Amino acid sequence: MTVVLRLVGPDGTDEREFTTEDADRVCRPTSIELLRAVAREEPASIREAARLVDRDVRQVHDNLWKLGKLDLVTFDRSGQAHRPVVDYDRIELEIEV
């Protein structure tokens, strides 16, 4: 069974199909909090993102890389740090029953 995530941003809408396990990873409170913090605050590094959500850097690093594998977070590597980037304003979840 697949779940459709619709990513809505300034450049339009992008639909992606996910397994229920991947959708579960996105919908966890810690992931949602992290996605919101990165989108709103635009941290300069993973370490700064960890400070924003008051979590351990290693946990945030792992969380961001997993979200990156799902193409929900990208990383700007133009500086010395990996700057996490979220390029959309809203995630819409569609589940067919």
CATH number of 2-94: 1.10.10.10
**Burial group, residue 71, by CB count within 10 angstroms (0-12, 13-18, 19+):** exposed
Per-residue pLDDT 10s for the chain (97 aa) are: 789 999 999 989 999 999 999 999 999 999 999 999 999 999 999 999 999 999 999 999 999 999 999 999 999 998 888 999 999 999 999 888 8
**Where do the domains of the chain lie?**
2-94
pTM: 0.90
Burial state string for 20-47 with b = 16 or more CB within 10 A and e = fewer than 16? eebbebbeeeebeebbebbbeeebeebe
Q: List, for residues 51-79, the tens digit of each pLDDT value.
A: 999 999 999 999 999 999 999 999 999 88
pLDDT at 78: 86
Host H or E run for residue 92? strand 90-94
